[in-house]
Structure 1
Amino acid sequence: MAPTRNNASKTTSKKTASKKTTNIRVNKKIAKAPLPPIDLNKLFPPWGSEEAKNQTANKEATDITVAIYHDINAYCELERLAGENVYGCLETFSNLRTFTEGFMEREITGYMSCMQSFEAEHGEFQSVTPNSRFLQFVTALGWKMFAICSHTESFRRGIKEADDRAWGCLLQKIHENFLSIELYSHNRTLKWRDILWIYQNYPIPGLPDMKLEIETYMNWKVDHPHHTVITLDGKLKEPSYNGQLQKHINESIYDPKKWSGQKQDPTLRHKANGTPTNVGRQCVRCGSPVSCACRLETRAGELIELREYSGTGTGVRALTRFRRGDILDIFMGELLPDIVENVYPLTQNDDKNNTTTTTTTTTVNSLCTICPHQFGNWTRFISHSCRPATQFMTRTIGNRVVCTVEVIRDILPFEEITVGYGDRYWTALDYDCLCGHCDGSGSE
């Protein structure tokens, strides 16, 4: 595999040379970025100091923000299952919706009653009320964001339980991720307006016009979350390759027509008649030496977003914590017999090699090429880094051999997810690595 971007220049920088040396790799290297000195007092501030308190508050606010994404996703998924009449889901979803509506009602009526009491006593409006966090949030971030966050248990608890320092950090983090949270709820069709309808015709003094926000719709179609990229300038775009949308798929595509009529998917462990193909080894999940029904159960793709990064283009941003050893997902695309381009596909090896899958064009026991040009999943957008957070691994899962993306160091919330393309990728191509951790050679 190579940089999964709209074009290679987004992740790598083509070296400039005269026509006589176009195919010769330039020997001059980019100066390696020096490592900043480690300030232990900053990492571990003295107990009870302002720095320590700020660090604790920031972590608490980060945890709440991460939980907001998780709760939105869970709420919308539960609503979908309730709509499909899955046993037990309708009652559970009804209870969640009741909690959400009750929270909104308490915040609004509590604010109004405090305001009216103050007016009755002093004859004027006073914006500082016992539930002034509600006023502070709606004034700063609007009714829409408050309604979105009200659907999450993490926010409902945070507004009540967080101390003032953590609350201030939370407001800042929600502000920084405003478009991200808005898009996240939009693509999952969160019906945030439902808890505001009954209040829209009742002006609330001291707060923005609710009706205006209710009647304003996001100028972006509801689509698969991985069909949208947040750009550096805060806009939205579709990921594309050669002018075509890069569509999301849940399984790699095998087309016999592109294999000269060969009907058997080369990554399968058994043929349709049950005959073994001598591909793969024991299933990594259950240990079965023969084909089984195991699948990779992962929801990592629900807690990431596509975001544009300076110098490298479209990348993947984590919306939660991922731990070392987590298998995030399977690298997917069209399964092809030959390399179609030097800067895109990833070679799928047989699991019997038991080696790390790297971005090379030729390898022993190669089964096929996984090409994510037009069809693939979010893993194709992971950028290279010489200090990667993940690696490609060849695994046998269920009835096939696949390439997985696995975490090799803990990934923090809102960190870019990166992977190492492999040394041979950079030696084979006339490109400079722009990860910032090397001298341009693609290796530290």
Structure 2
Amino acid sequence: MESPARLEFIRRNISSAILDQVDHLANALLNHQPLAFLKTPVLRFEAFVEDGRDSDSHHSHDLVTPGESWPHSVRRPIMSTALDLSCMVTPAASSTPTSLAATVETGPDKVADSSAHVPPLTSSRSWATVQRADSPSGLSSDSAEGGSRRKTLSALRPSRCNFPIVDELNTRRQIRVDHNFPKRLKVQDEVVFSQQESSLNKFIVGVWEQLHAGTRLDPPILLEYWHTSIIAATAANTETMRHSGMDALPSPNGFLGEGDTATLGNAGCLFNQSNSFCLKITQASRACRSLEVIVQARWMELFESYADFLVASNPSMPRSRCRKTALIEACNDFGWSEKEMRNKMAIWRGYKEIKDAGGWAALVFAGMGIYRFCKYRIGFNAESMQRLCSWRPRFEVAADTLHPNWRQLLAIVGETSQRRFVGHPHDWVVFPDGADPVPLRSTYLEYDPNFSFEHLEESLIDVNAWGADDPRWVPSLDAAACPRAAYTCRDCKQQQSNDPKLNACHCFPSLFGAPRAACPVQIFRTANGRNNGLQALVAFERGAAIGEFVGLVTKGLCDVDVMGSTVAGGRGYQIWQGRQGNYTRFVNHSCRANAQFQDFVWMGTQRAVLVSKGVGAGQEITVDYSDDYWRDLDKQCLCGESCCRYKNARR
């Protein structure tokens, strides 16, 4: 009898040899085509002992009783196992699974066949059972006991059977064309795979956002208000405690603190005061941050001037030695180490380069990313600085018109505080190449010597055409049920009100229901003969409002550019922007527009809103003027799009 260690060694080697062939066996099984036509497929394993020295004859040495001759003509396995594949390959006929395997082992005095325990391998159609010449008999082509069989086909493999071809039109599984198509998505621009937005683009967008954020940069007024607020708050707090007889001290910061709220019992008043105070402090902090970068940029200029002075005074001393001398003096004055001073100077040098290229406005109104931009200097090259230089006049136009007192910050470094551009932000036409802006009126004198334009916030009613009535009036949805009911939005079904506390309609929050901020757009001079256009300075996401089309509400005008609209009931009116309006007047036509005009009812009055279809920063805002505008018009479309519909002079 073999030892347990010997048996374990044999078992481990046999298991390893069998496992090495499992993958080949599985692939051969899945690629076996006749398997799809077997009712009860069975995988049979048989083991034989053969003489490996003679590979041609493969004589088998079966286990027989002593004295019995070797039956070389009949091969008998020492082990036979069958595995039922019906649950693995094809759907089972019943929910009760059959036995997965039936194993019969033979000993030295017994040879058994497992075919009695497992159904024979048969085919359900014309497939004939092919037997090896040396395999045991007992497998038939068909079983008479099977009765009516259910044909099972694989859903993944093509069958090799010759199915009849039917030409009838009413046959099932015919693929037909469907004429009911869903609504297609909006046609987008050509897909352009580009890199992530550059650091310079982010910096420029940040400058425009700060310019139109409404932050006041007026340091004298802010600091004076700060000082006055502290004195007034301290005096009021002391007077209140004197009359109440309470023994309390004012807040350390001179403003009403947490304990004062409970003492005075006027939480609403204190909250409003804290809002105003916090706003002023935030604006003062922003102004101080601007002062910081202004002084640091000027310090770098003075450092370079002092280094040049040392070079001129000591011609024999190398320039690097002169800069080192100036650096050591600065370290002594600041009380910083040389390493810390060099790190600061690297960032301050970035401030100076931005000031030299984009002007003081780019530096003062830079966003919070300016420190990171100057620290890592990603995109700091000659091309980027040249591009920033072309934006310089445009920064100054927006800064001078939106923040009239911002140049007072420059007085701390000896710069002039006089503005270059006055008036409305859209009274100036800028140029993409960085040329000096020109007044809006000068661009229309060749067409109309008496041209003038008034910027409006709301449309005006032409009393000669409509009298005291507003033709844009639309009755409220709840007017019949409750005449005094609040206005309800026709789109979101929420209450509309000019009071932000009561308003619940947020369809266009930048225009209605809250104070309007300056729109980040500029009027620019086009290069293809379309006169002026409107450019987006920041991105407008799809569905966002760019502005309201305002002007003179009139009727009966012909052969002039007007916005025609009709309210419920069929009453039509026109909005003319020839002499009065806003920046929407300068939106050009494009056959592939990125914006559109949309009717919107606010507080019972129909409005025309310019809505974005997805406008990127720096793109021109365009709309489609429609066929009614171009019909019989002696003009040629200059949009330049490949899908232009109005290339001919007359339609």
TM-score range (shorter-chain normalised) is: 0.5 to 0.7
Q: CA deviation at 1:379?
A: 0.7
3-state SS, counterpart of residue 399 of structure 2: helix
**1:204-259 deviations in whole A, cap 9, x for unaligned?**
xxxxxxx5xx37752x4x11112221257543122458322221101000132332
* Counterpart for residue 394 of structure 1: 599
Query: After superposition, where does 1:1-400 map in structure 2 within 5 Å?
Result: 43-44=192-193, 55-56=195-196, 59-74=198-213, 76-77=215-216, 87=276, 88-109=278-299, 123-125=321-323, 131=345, 134-135=348-349, 138=352, 142=356, 145-146=359-360, 148-154=362-368, 156-165=370-379, 170-200=384-414, 211=415, 214=416, 218=420, 220=421, 222-231=422-431, 234-239=436-441, 240=444, 242=448, 243-259=450-466, 261=467, 263-270=468-475, 283-284=489-490, 287-288=493-494, 292-293=497-498, 296-298=508-510, 302-310=519-527, 311-338=529-556, 340-350=557-567, 365-400=570-605
Match of 1:269, SS? Answer: coil
Distance 1:439 1:138, change over 3 A: same
Give the conservation status (yes or no) of the 8 Å contact 2:361–2:395: no
Cα 1:287–1:169 change in 2 (3 A) is: farther
CA distance in 2, matches of 1:165, 1:231: 24
**How many Å separate the matches in 2 of 1:190 and 1:142?**
22
Find the counterpart in structure 1 of residue 620 from structure 2. Answer: 416
Summarize the Cα distance change of 1:60–1:381 in structure 2 as closer, same or farther, 3 Å threshold.
same
> Per-residue deviation at 1:387?
0.4
Write out per-residue CA displacement over residues 343-401 of structure 1, whole angstroms, 9 at most, x where no aligned residue.
31010222x5xxxxxxxxxxx92431001111111111100000000111112122211
8 Å contact 1:332–1:377 — kept in the other structure?
A: yes
Displacement of 1:184 after TM fit? Answer: 1.1
Counterpart residue number, 1:7: none
Between 1:364-373 and 1:80-89, the stretch displaced more is 80-89
Residue matched to 1:442? 646
How far apart, CA to CA, are the structure 2 residues paired with 1:69 and 1:318?
10
Name the residue aligned to 1:5: none
After the TM superposition, list the runs of 4 or more consecutive aligned residues in structure 1 that deviate by more than 6 angstroms. 80-86, 113-118, 126-129, 274-277
| Deviations 1:294-325 (CA, angstroms, capped at 9, x unpaired) | 68542685200001102111110110001111
Q: Which amino acid aligns with 1:61?
A: L
Matches of 1:133 and 1:146, distance apart in 2:
16
- Structure 1 alignment gaps of length 5 or more: 1-36, 46-54, 201-210, 353-363
Checking the alignment, whether the CA contact within 8 Å between 2:551 and 2:580 is kept in structure 1 is yes
Corresponding residue SS for 1:435: coil
C-alpha displacement of 1:111: 6.6
Asked if 2 retains the 8 angstrom alpha-carbon contact of 1:68 and 1:155, the reply is no
Higher RCO (CA 8 Å, separation ≥ 6 residues): 1
CA distance in 1, matches of 2:622, 2:365: 31
Secondary structure of the residue aligned to 2:212 is helix
| One-letter identity of the residue aligned with 1:417 | I
Aligned residues: 359
Q: By how many angstroms is 1:407 displaced?
A: 1.3
Percentage identity across paired residues of the two chains: 19
Which deviates more from structure 2 when the two are superposed, residues 117-126 or residues 382-391? 117-126
- Contact 1:144/1:192, CA 8 A, preserved across alignment: no
Distance 1:253 1:423 in 2: 27
Specify the SS of the correspondent of 2:213.
Answer: helix
- How far did residue 145 of structure 1 move? 1.2
Larger Rg: 2
Query: Does structure 2 retain, via aligned residues, the 8 Å contact 1:72–1:190?
Result: no
Instruction: Provide closer, same or farther for how the CA distance between residues 138 and 113 of structure 1 changes in structure 2, counting only shifts above 3 A.
Output: closer
What TM-score do you get using the length of structure 1 for normalisation? 0.68
Equivalent residues of 1:315, 1:382 under 8 A apart: yes
The structure with the greater share of residues assigned to strand is 1
Q: 1:193 to 1:349 in 2, by over 3 A?
A: same
2 CA distance for matches of 1:230 and 1:110? 31
Task: Return the TM-score normalized by structure 2.
Answer: 0.48
Distance 1:166 1:373, change over 3 A: same
CA–CA distance in 1 between the matches of 2:521 and 2:542? 17
Distance 1:78 1:367, change over 3 A: farther
User: Is the 1:301–1:328 contact (alpha carbons within 8 Å) kept by the matching residues of 2?
Assistant: no
Q: Distance in 1 between matches of 2:214 and 2:554?
A: 39
C-alpha distance in structure 2 between counterparts of 1:109 and 1:190, whole Å: 26
2-structure distance, mates of 1:160, 1:44: 28
Q: CA deviation at 1:189?
A: 2.9
Could you tell me which amino acid in structure 1 is paired with residue 639 of structure 2?
A: C
Q: How far did 1:414 drift?
A: 1.0
Give the conservation status (yes or no) of the 8 Å contact 2:549–2:585: yes
